[in-house]
Amino acid sequence: MSDRIEQFLVHLRLGKRSSQATLKAYGTDLRGFATWLAARSTALEQVGRLELRRYLVELEEQQLKATSIQRKLASLRSFYGWMQQEGHVQKDAARLVKGPRAPRRVPRFLTVPEVDALLAQPFDAGWQGCRDRAILEVLYSTGCRVSECASMTLRAVDLDEGYVRVTGKGDKQRLAMLGKAARSAIGEWLPHRSRLMADNKQRGVTALFVNRFGKPLSSRWVFETVVARARAAGLQVHLTPHGLRHSFATHLLDRGADLRTVQELLGHARLVTTEIYTHVSVGRLRDVYDQAHPQGRSAGTTRRRRQGTDDAATE
């Protein structure tokens, strides 16, 4: 089975252009399943829905989170779908297997005042302060993932038109908008970047954000920068780059953006992934409903007041 797994991972890397993180997750999940089969002396061709269900039950007994089990099942579904397509098995054993229902978590996000506090904190005028401010502004303005921010290239940025070409999962590209504050922050950072590149004699580095040696920042470095700056701003929440992505989507929807637009800006392949953010618009929808619907709260209050006046007049 190990040979089949490696062939499948090559298919993902070359055919699907999957990211390294995706390849690592799939490899871990499938090798774990292979170990489970080997312990039971079960051949790959003998695996059916019953064996897969037993595997999932054992994962539940190990108290794995439902989300982790669902991810492993998704890996198995992709693997067996490919196996059937390649003719290695006759039936896709994983296609109809259901995993545990995972609770739908509401993403954490910052309020607008919290974002203002984060971005309005004092940044020093040196290269690090300008770079950190630009990172925060770009993350909030574009809603990009931390990996997308770290891999963002100088060539992809168009400050005149106010957009950046973001390379997301599977090397898919999309346009993300740069607001006035983000464009200003990038503009202040670029001279520092040029100086760092010249001082370190770096050539051929295309990354927008670099360290003091003129080398591209890692995703981990961007992550730690956001955490440190959130702490410096005195925020009482544990903020990560993905928290800024959630805030980006939340604030757009809360101000009337349609779901399809937000899906496009976030780079989601499926609309259902974006729908998790619709919870934030409940308050706005309630306000609109109360003001516009005949039986809304405001209308009802007006009606009751009018009725009370009429009753008093009758008496």
Which residues are catalytically annotated?
145, 169, 242, 245, 268, 277
Q: Please classify residue 255 by burial: count the beta carbons closer than 10 Å to its beta carbon, then call 0-12 exposed, 13-18 middle and 19+ buried.
A: exposed
Residue 308, token pair as written in the block: 């009370």
Candidates 141, 121, 210; CA nearest to 182 is 141
Phi, psi dihedral angles at 207 (to 5 degrees): -60, 140
**DSSP H or E segment with residue 157:** strand 157-158
| Residue type, position 265, single letter | L
Distance, first Cα to last Cα, the chain: 88
Residue 62 corresponds to which tokens in the numbers above? Answer: 């190990």
Q: Is the dihedral of CA 143, 147, 149, 155 positive or negative?
A: negative
Helices 127-142 and 241-254 meet at what angle, rounded to 10? 50
Q: What angle do CA 126, 225, 268 make, to 5 degrees?
A: 125
In whole angstroms, give the CA distance from residue 94 to residue 79.
9
**Token digits of residue 120:** 């309005």
Host H or E run for residue 166: strand 163-167
Distance CA 200, CA 216 (A): 13
Maximum CA extent, the chain: 92
User: Closest by alpha carbon to 189, among 148, 254, 258, 136?
Assistant: 136
- 274 closest CA partner among 261, 255, 256, 288: 261
